[in-house]
Amino acid sequence: MDYGYLDMIHFSSIKETDIESRLALLLARWIIYDNGFEKIENLLMQEKIEWKKFREIIVYHELCAFAYICLKKHLYLLPNNSMELLKKDYYFCLTHQVFLWREFLRIAHIFRDKNIEFTPLKGIAFFIDNMYGERRYLRPMVDIDLMVKKETLPLVERILGSLGYEKHLGGNKEDYWKSQNYHLPFIKKRQKGLPCMAEMHWDLDYKRKNPLLPYLWSRIKKMRLDGKEISLLSPEDTLFSIALHHRRFGKMLCLKNVCDTAMLLERYKDDIDWHYILREAEREGMRTILYFIFTQATLLLDVKIPPFVLRRLDIPGYKRQLIERFILSNTFAVESGLNNYKSLYLRTHFLIYDNIWDPVKCVLGLPLEQFAKFYSLQPYSRRTNLLYKIRYLYFLKSLLVIILNATTKRMSKLLKNKK
Q: pLDDT for 233-252, tens place per residue?
A: 999 999 999 999 888 876 78
pTM (2 d.p.): 0.87
Name which of 60, 156, 149, 55 is nearest 111 in CA terms: 156
Please state, rounded to an integer, the average pLDDT across all residues of the chain: 85
Q: What type of residue sits at position 183?
A: H
Question: pLDDT value at position 346?
Answer: 74
Q: What is the pLDDT of residues 285-294, one digit of tens each?
A: 999 999 999 9
Q: Angle, to 10 degrees, between the axis of helix 274-284 and the axis of helix 287-301?
A: 130
Annotate 120-129 with b (16+ C-beta within 10 A) or e (fewer): bbbbbbbbbb
Transcribe 198-248 into DSSP letters: EEEESSSSS--SS-SSTTTGGG-EEEEETTEEEEE--HHHHHHHHHHHHHH
What is the rounded CA–CA span in Å between residue 255 and residue 243?
14
Question: pLDDT value at position 3?
Answer: 35
Please enumerate in sequence order all residues whose Cβ is within 8 A of that of 397, keeping only pairs 6 or more positions apart, or say none.
Answer: none
Q: What type of residue sits at position 85?
A: L
Beta partners for residue 381, in sequence order: none
* pLDDT above 90 for 154: yes
**Greater pLDDT, 414 or 184:** 184
* pLDDT above 70 for 412: no
Per DSSP bridges, beta strands 144-148 and 196-201 are parallel
What is the rounded CA–CA span in Å between residue 19 and residue 25?
10
Q: Would you place residue 9 in the very low, low, confident or very high pLDDT band (cuts 50, 70, 90)?
A: very low
Helix (H, G, I), strand (E, B) or coil at 347: helix
Helix (H, G, I), strand (E, B) or coil at 167: strand
